[in-house]
Amino acid sequence: MTGFINIFLPPEKITLKVGLFFGSFNPIHIGHMAIANYMAEYAGLQQVWFVVSPQNPFKKKEDLLNDFDRLELVRLAIGDDPRFRVSDAEFRMPKPSYTIDTLTHLSGKYPTHHFSLIMGSDNLTKFTQWKNYQEILNHYPIMVYPRPGSPESPFTHETILTNDAPLMEISSTFLRNAIREGHNMRCFFPEKVWEYIDKMNFYR
């Protein structure tokens, strides 16, 4: 299939090992950053790319903050850390966005990058519902991190790698509700992210 990278690409052909961390990031918080940091340091990756999704097929679009505001929040969160990068690739793709289409697009644009998919264990339990999930398994390693309350998935495959990342019991839904209720949630965000949320009066 055009655009896919061979996961068995010879090491000398690989220019960068990248973990793709997909999400709405509505908003990005310290839990997201902790997972990305763990993957960058323990999963053999050189970079983690935050792929901001404009429309998740499993979420209602009206619940989302403006696409470019969420993108800006991620930019503020990662700052100048060379291990991280934010991608707006899905902003220019048909909606709703599907992971397989984004992987194909990025692999075609960066043919010598070795891409892996970073996924929470809660998403793994419904992975077989994803569009062309078998193609993802055939071409991309999947790095799974634990999520609170997520049952162990019976689904296994040689390209699925479970990581012992810290269990992060923080959700964007909780934070949005807390801000809406008037709570000061400063410590749950990178400093510049909280300052921007507060300045722009988001989620209130």
Fold assignment, 13-169: Rossmann fold (3.40.50)
Determine the Cα–Cα distance for residues 158 and 136; give it in Å rounded to an integer.
12
Exposure b/e, 1-39, CB count within 10 A at least 16 = b:
eeebbeeeeeeeeeeebbbbbbbbbbbbbbbbbebbbbb
20 three-class SS: strand
Between the CA of residue 9 and those of 15, 20, 107, 172, what are the distances in Å? 11, 18, 12, 36
Determine the Cα–Cα distance for residues 141 and 136; give it in Å rounded to an integer.
8
When pLDDT is cut at 50, 70 and 90, the band that residue 166 belongs to is: confident
Give 177-188 pLDDT, tens digit per residue: 999 999 999 999
Strand partners, 144: 119, 162
Give 115-148 pLDDT, tens digit per residue: 999 999 998 888 999 999 999 999 999 999 998 8
The DSSP code sequence of 111-167 is TTEEEEEEEEHHHHTTGGGSTTHHHHHHH--EEEE--TTPPPP----TTEEE--PPP
The predicted model scores a pTM of 0.90
Cα 169-203-27 angle, rounded to 5 deg: 45
**194 compared with 14, residue with greater pLDDT:** 194
pLDDT of residue 2: 37
Domain boundaries, the chain: 13-169
Determine the Cα–Cα distance for residues 65 and 68; give it in Å rounded to an integer.
8
pLDDT of residue 43: 93
- The number of beta carbons lying within 10 Å of the beta carbon of residue 91 is 15
When pLDDT is cut at 50, 70 and 90, the band that residue 155 belongs to is: confident
Instruction: Give the residue among 89, 131, 129 at the shortest CA–CA distance from 107.
Output: 89
Give 25-54 pLDDT, tens digit per residue: 999 999 999 999 999 999 999 999 999 998
CA 111 to the chain's CA centroid: 20
pLDDT of residue 59: 61
